[in-house]
Amino acid sequence: PTSNASASEFLQNDGAGALSWASADAGFIKYTVYTGGHSWDKTDNNPTKIIVEVQGGGGSSGSGDVDWSFGGSGGSGGYVRKFIDVSSISTATIVVGSGGVKNAGTSAGNSSWTDGTNTLTGGLGGNGANGVHPSPEHGAGGTGGTATGGDINIPGANGAYGQVDQLANCTTPSFFSSGSGTGFQRTALSYGAAIAGTAYGSGAGQGRGNNTTIDGANGADGVVIVWEFK
């Protein structure tokens, strides 16, 4: 064919060498990564099906005080995935949860998708508790976030209890990560600063005090990802 195709057509071969433009009735259109609150609306591409991924925010880690106490790690956020027929759905509200604030401060936030028919929620990860000598010298880890409403619902991982033999500075993994950190085992000489959550929804690694207070770190923000199909 010598004519130009429209935006909704593709070039097909009939098997005998003849080419023609045909309507693209099905197939992938695009994906969008939402890192903040937003409204989703059907675009000019007019998708009929979508896949939505919802990841809650990760929890912060606790601090360690001057007497060699250890803060707990933050829990990671819950993850939800769902296939949705949007033939009769035109808009949805997207919320992206923030990561928790260090030193057992503000909790991390839920992430969600709400379209009037479906509600998907990736729950927040809990903050790790501060370690305070003499009690509680070792802060408890934050709980993993809940996950509801999806075809696949994966709760977040619990943060680690602050302790002497814990792997040093490792973050709590979310669906989008396997955790990170130096990976060595803590000894009497391996005190140090906490590591912030990095991948979407991961919890922060703990802080360890040694003659001076060591801050915890912030959890990672969540995310919502929408995949659109004809």
pLDDT at 181: 45
Residue 179: pLDDT over 60? no
Check if the beta carbon of residue 122 is closer than 8 Å to that of residue 110: yes
DSSP 141: P
Cα 41 versus chain centre, distance: 22
Check if the beta carbon of residue 152 is closer than 8 Å to that of residue 56: no
Mean pLDDT calculated for residue range 79-85: 98
pLDDT at 88: 93
pLDDT at 102: 82
Task: Write down the H helix ranges in 53-92.
Answer: none
Contacts of 20 (CB under 8 A, 6+ apart): 1, 11, 12, 14
pTM, rounded to two decimals? 0.81
Helix (H) or strand (E) holding 28: strand 28-34
Distance set, CA 92 to CA 27, 78, 114 (Å)? 22, 20, 5
- Band of residue 62 on the pLDDT scale cut at 50, 70, 90: confident
Mean pLDDT calculated for residue range 57-76: 83
Residue 133: pLDDT over 60? yes
Q: Which residue has the higher pLDDT, 100 or 184?
A: 100
Residue 46: pLDDT over 50? yes
pLDDT at 151: 98
Tokens of 99: 């990561």
Cα 209 versus chain centre, distance: 29
Mean pLDDT calculated for residue range 82-111: 87
pLDDT at 195: 82
